[in-house]
Every structure is written in C-alpha cells, then in structure tokens.
A and B are shown apart, each in its own frame.
Chain A
C-alpha cells in the first residue's frame, strides 16, 4: 500500500488565529494526506520535536501575528541542528511580499499569502516533497 503523505500543521508563537491552519489541515486530509495539528502556541522546539517524532514529510506553519521572520527561520535552524534535511517546510499567513525572499533563503520552500486556494497548497506539497515514494 502506498504510504500517505504525512503533514504537521503547526501554529508557532503566540498567535491565536487558527481558522486558516484548521481549514488547510482539513483540506489536506480531504486530499488524502495524514494530518497532525499541533494546536496553538507552539515553540519552534516543540514543532521540530513533533515533526521528528511523527516522522512527517511536511511541516506547514501558519502565522498571522507578524512574527514569521523570527519564528520560521528558527524552525529551519533547529531542523538542521537535528540533521533533518528531507522535510518540506512551508508557511502561510499575513506575510508581506517583501519578506518572502528572506524566508525562502532560510529554507521555507513555499509561502502562501491570503487568498491562496487550498488546492494550490496541495499541489505544491505533492510536487515538492523531499522524500521519494
């Protein structure tokens, strides 16, 4: 049997806006992926340890508070420290265009801003997995 794509949907930082995270989690599940949702207020350390423990293929983070420039790269640093290099990391939320190049340089493979259809995120995940089938 083909292994389902495993995704950790995570809310880093103190932001309480989880409508987007929950909608995307459900859309990914409806698209046949296995989804673990962390709930609110996760530190980068908690997210990375959940990603390792759950052996996920994808970490999808959502921030609407403006703390993305601090928290997204921190998650990437911690993943690297743990020697994890085969997990696709993406992010979404209220993120100004000007910040996107910096986040991509830090290793966030895709950044999805307001108005993105869930289908676009689903396609992106399917086409950019770092682990082979």
Chain B
C-alpha cells in the first residue's frame, strides 16, 4: 500500500468518526465557506495536493512561477514599504501630513487626490463645487505640486500617486518638481496607478473612452522606459474591484485580464515586452478571510507568471514577477464600534504580509466615518510595525506554503481565475468584456449576495449585525473646511494672471496637434505643465480631441 492509499484509508476512518460525533453534536452550520463563499471542507490532507508538482507549481522564492514570492530573500532582506495613502484639503495641509507620516516611520508616500483632480477639472469648475479637497488633495497646477512636495527631497522618497485618467499630467508635474529640486527623472522612484480599465468597472474616475485612454497609458510606458526607468508605470488594481463587491477569485481574474489588455496594447503599439513589463505593478485588497487572502496573493503571482511567459513570450524574470501593493479592505470596516476595526485591519495586514506584499497601506479605524485623524493613522502604521518587528511572520519566507489548506486554495483560486480569463478572452478581451457590461454584472451579483448574507445573519459582522451596543456618535472626526474650494479658486485666478500665457497657449496648441496625430503625448504634456498650464486646461484639450467616456449603466 503506498502513502496515499494509507492516508485515504485513514481519512475515511477519521470522517466516519467525525460523522458519528456530528450525529450527537451537530456542527455549527450545515455547510462551511470562505469569505468569498467557496465551500470549505472539514479537513485538508496531502490528498488535496496529489496533482501538484512542487518544482513546477510552487518552486522557490524568486523563481518561476513565483508562487512563494518575487524575491529570494523577501522580508529577511528588507520589509515591505509601509505606505499610508494620504491627502486632503490643500497642498499645504497635505504636505504637513506627509512630513508627519515620514517622521512616524513610513517609508514611502502615497498621494490621494481630490475628485476634481482625478477627473481632470480645475477647482473652479462648476462640477468641482463641494468636492474640492474632500477625498484628497486639490492639485490644479505645477504651483500646487511644488507646495505638496516642499521640503521633501524626491531623490530620497518613493511616491505612489493614485491617479488614473490624468496620470500623465500628474506624473509630468512630479517630474517638473524634481527638475526644480535638481533631481533628474532617472532618479525618481514611485508609481502612478494609471489603470483606466478598473475605473470603468469599479472606481469611476474615467475621463476619455477606452481607445485614447489605452494610448495615453502606452505612451507613458514608452516614455518612462526611456526617461524614468525606475518608475512603476501602472498599478493594475484589483483593490477597487474587490471593494465594489467581487470575490477573491474575481479580483485576481479581472485584474489579470486588465493586465493582459495593457500588455496587448503596448505590444501592438510596437513596444518590446521585456522593455516595459518589468515596471508593471499590481495592487490588491486584503479582505477578512486570512487563509483565502494569502492563497489569493500566491495564486495571482502564479497566474501572471504563466500569462507573461506563455502568452507574451517574456524572457526577463522581472517581466514575469507580479509585484504588488496591498491595502486592507475599506469596505470591511464598520461605522459601529469603530475600535474593532483596528483588529480587522491587523488580521488583513497579516494576510498581506503572509502573502508576500511589496508595500502595504493599513486602513485607519475611523474610515467608515470620515478621513482618518493623525491618531488613528498612527495606530494603523503601528499595526504594520508590530507585524514586522514582533509577530515573527517575517523571519522565514512564505510560511504558509505546504499547508494542505492554503496550497489547495491557491490551486482553486488559480483555476477559477483562469476560467474567468478564458471567458473574457472569448469575448475579445477585457475592454470588450467591460463594454458589454460582463465584468460589472459579475461584480454586482457578488456584492448583492454578500449584502443579503449580512442581512440574513448568515454572515456575521461583529458589532454591526451581532454583538451590537448602544453608542454615542463618535467625536473628533477629521473635517475638511469648505473654504478650501474658494482658496483654490483664488490661487487659480492669481496663477492665470501672472504666468506667461503665450507660453501656455503654445504648449496647449502643440499638445492638441500631438493628440490629433501619433506623437507620444508625454513630452508635450510636460512642456505644458512647465508653463503652468492647469490640469483642467490640459484635460480640456484632450477632451476636445478624444471625447468623453459614457458610462454603461448596469443594474
């Protein structure tokens, strides 16, 4: 009798014994499931990995297919980048918050822009009213960007910017600030999110239709590979897809399908895959189910490595390595008993670390209520530091590898994601699947069933649908002064009066001509930015040439 037969026999005996106990003392519920509603067995054994080949499917850290991590020393070399997403009100206020975060030990900056900035409107635009400085910092021109990074040497920090439709404009502003600091672009490190496809399905800050948007993105790939070689040119994001309600497998599937669309577009634009793919990065959610989330990160690395090698013929290891940022799941936070959120965030952050993340944002306890205060941001950062320095999770690499459960779930998520990717391929790729509303519908269905599970009590949310208490409204929430809108408008009026408007007009005219033709747009945008053309002016030129995206409303 071989090992597996013996284990099988033993397992049958165990199950028989368990069934006997259950006939007297039933289990808590008839069926068990992960956070994403996948069935979970009572017990996992070596039998669950019978088809798995260690060298082929799991392998070693830093080696294809990177299941165990993208570097060969991982956190024994250095910890992940502790990067707290922040920004609100004016550039002056946000600059103060960044200096506070750096003083507390964050190791990278992450800029949150307000909605007008993200959608390419100046603060004095009619549609900006009421939104200026609310969910992030208001940036109208290079002048604001200079204030935002005042006293922060750009050759010493890495900066992530959550900016998508107008990513080229904000990247150009960052490059221009660096020039003024005497820092050349090849020394800049950071990331722009620049992921328009997930905006159409999950986040909503689109401007232009898919085709010109894809051109803006591939222009950035080409420009940065020559001029800003250490910049992550995109952060292909599953985070918002998950926040919109997807399951873990859908998060992996739709993110990687988007990634395939970007690589396809760049290859079609004539770029060599190994010239730009090493700078593609990813962004995932860390949700509540600890083991499923760890398996998700491991599966994502494996799926991407296979795609890059087999589909795109990438040769460079860096092109096949999925590097990712993680943020804990904002939608899991409760407005009720907000202190409990500290515990949720700790578990989610641990999942990200056990899953081998390259950088991490931990949410603050008050984020279901408002933007976080300094005190709550400090606790969120301390949570990462406790995991890094005290938990022991960082002493060896990929510590959950070999767990019958985690390995089996890694295989399951890979298989489910690959099945979705096949469906999307059959529709003609991610852009087509999004235009048809397929991706949106899948996410919404999952979101609705999640909500119904909460309302039926099947899914327990501690403090919200169970263990509730009467509580007083929370005190001391952060508020953004509505005066910010007027301040920004006044700044804009002063800027327009004092800048060299002939240079601005020439820059915008050159950009328009380039947009109508095939030139790479980045150098033209950079020139307009240097002349202090505003974000809204630049985006208006592109709107006039490219048109605007009309959302497909799916219910």
Contact = CB atoms under 8 A, between A and B. Distances in A.
Interface of A: 13-19, 22-23, 25-27, 29, 35, 37-41, 43, 65-67, 69-71, 94, 96-98, 113-115, 117-119
A10 B60 CA distance: 50
A106 to B, nearest CB: 14
Nearest to B126: A43
B131 interface: yes
Interface in B80-138: 115-116, 118-119, 121, 127-131, 134-135
A66 B336 CA distance: 19
B455 A119 contact: yes
Contact of B555 (A15, A35, A97): A35
A122 B479 CA distance: 31
B433 interface: no
Contact of A114 (B116, B335, B448, B479): B335
B483 interface: no
A59 to B, nearest CB: 16
B447 A96 contact: no
A114 B115 CA distance: 21
Interface stretch (B198-206, B220-228, B262-270): B198-206
A96 B134 CA distance: 13
Contacts of B451: 23, 27, 118
Given A39-B551, A66-B135, A96-B369, A19 B245 contact: yes
Given A39-B553, A40-B551, A94-B369, A15 B455 contact: no
Contacts of B135: 15, 65-66
B129 A19 contact: no
A23 B453 CA distance: 13
Nearest to A114: B335
A96 to B, nearest CB: 6
B130 A71 contact: yes
B368 interface: yes
B406 to A, nearest CB: 29
Interface string B535-554: 00000000000000001010
Contacts, number: 105
B115 A14 contact: yes
12 contacts: A13-B130, A16-B204, A23-B447, A23-B448, A25-B555, A27-B451, A41-B551, A65-B115, A66-B131, A66-B134, A71-B130, A115-B461
B134 A22 contact: no
A17 B204 contact: yes
Interface string B470-502: 000110010110100000000000000000000
A14 B480 CA distance: 17
A22 B555 contact: yes
B334 interface: yes
B447 A13 contact: no
B473 A98 contact: yes
Nearest to B472: A97
Contact of B205 (A16, A18, A115): A16
A118 B455 contact: yes
Contacts of B205: 14, 16
A122 to B, nearest CB: 11
A66 B135 CA distance: 7
A41 B454 CA distance: 29
Contacts of A113: 335
The CB with the most chain A CB atoms within 10 A, among B116, B118, B555, is that of: B555
B130 A70 contact: yes
Nearest to B331: A19
Interface string B135-175: 10000000000000000000000000000000000000000
Given A14-B131, A115-B335, A118-B455, 7 more contacts: A13-B131, A14-B115, A23-B448, A65-B134, A96-B369, A97-B473, A117-B455
Nearest to B371: A66
B555 A70 contact: no
A26 B119 CA distance: 28
B115 A70 contact: no
B334 A115 contact: yes
Nearest to A99: B479
A98 B476 CA distance: 11
A7 to B, nearest CB: 12
Contact of B482 (A22, A70, A118, A119): A70
B447 A19 contact: yes
B455 A115 contact: no
A18 B335 CA distance: 18
Contacts of A13: 115, 130-131
A94 B331 CA distance: 11
The CB with the most chain B CB atoms within 10 A, among A69, A96, A113, is that of: A96
Nearest to A43: B127
Contacts of B454: 117
A94 B479 CA distance: 12
The CB with the most chain B CB atoms within 10 A, among A13, A18, A65, A66, is that of: A66
A25 to B, nearest CB: 6
Nearest to A13: B131
Interface string B231-249: 0000000000001110000
Contact of B204 (A18, A97, A115): A18
The CB with the most chain B CB atoms within 10 A, among A14, A17, A70, is that of: A14
B415 interface: no
Contacts of B203: 16
B286 to A, nearest CB: 18
B134 A67 contact: yes
A131 B478 CA distance: 39
